[in-house]
């Protein structure tokens, strides 16, 4: 069963160093006394729970398993403070959510921390645009500082996937999909009123394909650091979209979809997860971690 592109992954680089130097430490010996970052994080994740300052979001850990160089983490993201009618396929209300109720969404994260390396990775799963990178790392760093006060963990967005850059540079862009979440107070066009009730939200998608490969120039500009090009990419015929999904053919012939977000969304590039085995809408742990590992393979080249 396909993932329907609601499951994505964002990738970050991970390093450990003393607070006042750039002497990055190997993950298998971060303190000069044999302490392993993966083992430390696994310990912190036991009975882990972190709540946002406004008490509307929380993240909790279900499992944390070390498998070779990888730390595999299953999480639950909770959100409360919403009033909503939960309806079934027939349109009948099945449950009425009130602000004290908490929605829990399962998702995963993969840390790759080779013992002898100083450069590692964090690949975070987003389930229907719900992820926990911020709260997860805030909670882990609080505990890390308690044990290793002179050290800090650097977690930075991985700006570009190597495989995506290579595909764009070699003119293998197959499709561009522009996506806009349309609200009743900010309609993209009055033409939507033919199909969408005036008080309802809508999702507007525009697919651009061709009998030949698409022109890569604008995407190349964005990859080259031209942030203004993002505005041009996301505008079509006077409509301003929120997101661009770029389908490319990789060097091995595989077709992958990468998402270029607006800069203010918090992460410049995510990749749709493929090959997921979904059970009641959620991926199995085995298929999820296989997909996250495939994303890291794309990033590292």
Closest by CA to 110, choosing from 251, 300, 255, is 300
Say what the pLDDT of residue 95 is: 58
Q: Phi and psi (nearest 5°) for 139?
A: -65, -40
Give me the DSSP letters along 107-159: EEEEEE--TT-S-EEEEEEEETTB--HHHHHHHHHHHHHHH-TTEEEEEEE--
User: Nearest 10 degrees: CA dihedral of 44, 45, 47, 48?
Assistant: 90
Closest by CA to 234, choosing from 157, 167, 179, 298, is 179
Spatial contact of 136 and 51, defined as CB atoms under 8 Å apart = no
Say what the pLDDT of residue 90 is: 55
Say what the pLDDT of residue 147 is: 95
Say what the pLDDT of residue 2 is: 39
Say what the pLDDT of residue 172 is: 95
In this structure, the number of other CB atoms found within 10 A of the CB of residue 210 comes to: 11
Mean pLDDT in each 10-residue stretch from start to end of the chain (301 residues)?
64 92 95 96 92 80 96 84 55 54 74 96 82 86 94 83 85 94 84 85 92 94 82 92 90 84 60 85 90 86 61
Dist. CA 215–CA 108, nearest whole Å: 35
Among all chains, which residue has been given the structure tokens 């911020």? Answer: 134
pTM, 2 dp: 0.72
Say what the pLDDT of residue 222 is: 85
């Amino acid at each position: 069963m396909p993932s329907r592109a609601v499951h994505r992954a964002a990738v970050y680089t991970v390093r450990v160093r003393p607070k006042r130097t750039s002497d990055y430490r190997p993950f298998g010996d971060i303190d000069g006394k044999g302490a392993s970052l993966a083992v430390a994080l696994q310990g912190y994740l036991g009975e882990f729970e972190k709540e946002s300052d406004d008490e509307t979001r929380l993240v909790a850990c279900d499992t944390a398993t070390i498998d070779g160089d990888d730390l595999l983490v299953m999480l639950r993201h909770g959100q409360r403070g919403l009033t909503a009618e939960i309806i079934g396929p027939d349109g009948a209300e099945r449950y009425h959510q009130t602000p004290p109720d908490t929605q829990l969404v399962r998702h995963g994260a993969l840390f790759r921390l080779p013992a002898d390396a100083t450069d590692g990775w964090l690949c975070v799963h987003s389930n229907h645009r719900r992820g926990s990178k911020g709260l997860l790392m805030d909670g882990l760093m609080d505990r890390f500082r308690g044990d290793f006060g002179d050290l800090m963990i650097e977690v930075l967005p991985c700006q570009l996937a190597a495989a995506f850059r290579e595909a764009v540079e070699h003119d293998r862009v197959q499709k561009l999909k522009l996506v806009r979440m349309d609200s009743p107070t900010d309609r993209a066009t009055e033409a939507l009123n033919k199909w969408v009730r005036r008080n309802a939200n809508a999702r507007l998608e525009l697919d651009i394909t061709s009998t030949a490969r698409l022109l890569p120039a604008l995407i190349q500009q964005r990859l080259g650091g031209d942030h203004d090009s993002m505005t041009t990419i996301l505008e079509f015929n006077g409509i301003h979209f929120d997101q661009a999904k770029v389908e490319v053919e990789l060097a091995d012939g595989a077709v992958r979809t990468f998402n270029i977000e607006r800069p203010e969304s918090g992460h410049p590039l995510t990749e749709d997860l493929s090959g997921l085995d979904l059970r009641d809408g959620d991926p199995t742990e085995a298929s999820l971690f296989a997909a996250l590992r495939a994303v890291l393979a794309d990033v590292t080249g």
